[in-house]
């Protein structure tokens, strides 16, 4: 567990986190709508989230991903940070994704989180490279990446279906 400040710490996602995740996603629906894919109502249920947690725990055991939550001292989930699509061998690379509760945005907590995930990717996963993508107008996320040594590597047209539309993204990488 890593302390980030403001009563928030970063820890690995674990079995039993489904209800807290569902509550966090539900509380941040409006905040995340601009940045996320469209979600079915079942996504916001504890049962659905617990199923995703079980899958994430298997992925961690199998070395395919490392998923984390930002937790308040009182146990509330206040964000998510993930290393996923881990590919070993000649590539030794993975993708990075994250979000933070609207009430905590702009406090530097996600910059600290990304720094911790970079360290984890290097020391625990032995990766050579991390990649992240942002919507073209997501300046806050771009600043988080740049503060952590990520460099822009290009623009990917219609890269992900976000908010119901295929949207262009800026791609960033950090060689570890």
Per-residue pLDDT averaged across 83-102, rounded?
96
d(CA 37, CA 51): 18
- C-alpha distance from residue 128 to each of 7, 67, 68, 146 (Å): 32, 18, 20, 18
Question: What mean pLDDT, rounded, does the chain reach?
Answer: 96
d(CA 48, CA 54): 10
Query: Tens of pLDDT along 115-124?
Result: 999 999 999 9
Q: What is the pLDDT of residue 5?
A: 85
The answer to whether residue 138 scores a pLDDT higher than 90 is yes
pTM of the model: 0.93
Q: What is the pLDDT of residue 164?
A: 94
pLDDT band at 6 (very low <50, low <70, confident <90, very high): confident
The answer to whether residue 10 scores a pLDDT higher than 80 is yes
Are the beta carbons of 135 and 166 closer than 8 angstroms?
no
Q: For residues 71-105, b (16+ Cβ closer than 10 Å) or e, as one string?
A: bbeeebbbbbbbbeebeeeeeebbebebbbbeebe
pLDDT band at 65 (very low <50, low <70, confident <90, very high): very high
The answer to whether residue 1 scores a pLDDT higher than 80 is no
Three-point CA angle 98, 102, 106, nearest 5°:
80
Would the CA dihedral through 83, 85, 89, 91 be positive or negative?
negative
């Amino acid at each position: 567990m890593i302390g980030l400040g403001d009563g928030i710490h970063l820890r690995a996602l674990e079995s039993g986190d489904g209800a807290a995740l569902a509550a966090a996603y539900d509380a941040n629906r409006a905040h995340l709508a601009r940045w996320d894919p469209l979600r079915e109502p079942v996504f916001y249920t504890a049962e659905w989230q617990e199923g995703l947690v079980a899958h994430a725990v298997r992925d961690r055991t199998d070395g395919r991903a490392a998923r984390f939550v930002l937790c308040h001292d009182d146990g509330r989930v206040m964000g998510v940070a993930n290393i996923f699509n881990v590919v070993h061998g000649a590539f030794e690379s993975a993708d990075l994704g994250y979000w933070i509760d609207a009430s905590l945005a702009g406090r530097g907590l996600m910059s600290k989180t990304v720094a911790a995930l970079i360290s984890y990717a290097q020391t625990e996963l032995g990766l050579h490279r991390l990649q992240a993508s942002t919507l073209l107008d997501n300046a806050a996320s771009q600043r988080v990446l740049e503060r952590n040594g990520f460099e822009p590597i290009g623009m990917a047209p219609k890269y992900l279906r976000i908010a119901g539309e295929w949207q262009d993204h800026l791609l960033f990488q950090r060689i570890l």
